[in-house]
Amino acid sequence: MKAPRIRESAARLAEQARSDGWSHEDYLAAVLSREVTARESSDTQNRIRLARFPTRKSLEEFNFDYQPSLSREMVAYLSNSISRNERVNRW
């Protein structure tokens, strides 16, 4: 099984689990959650790198003055909706 981040976090989380009285299931869930989060982040970074975009831009950098018909609130709402949807559906 390819799960390199488990090795990095398992010992630290084991100490925390012992001191906080976690069940085995809680410990396993925490270790696997770290692995999944790290994989998702890595996958995202790889897709961005492979896309070879000329520059990296974010919504936070967007200047809404150049597009006055665009609602900041709507963009923020849609951005949050997309983020939640990606976590659920994993494109």
Q: What is the pLDDT along the chain (91 residues), one digit of tens a residue?
A: 678 888 888 999 999 999 999 999 999 999 999 999 888 888 988 998 899 988 878 888 888 898 889 988 998 888 887 755 555 444 4
User: How would you label 49-82 residue by residue, b for 16+ Cβ within 10 Å and e otherwise?
Assistant: eeeeeeeeeeeeeeeeeeeeeeeeeeeeeeeeee
Full-model pTM: 0.54
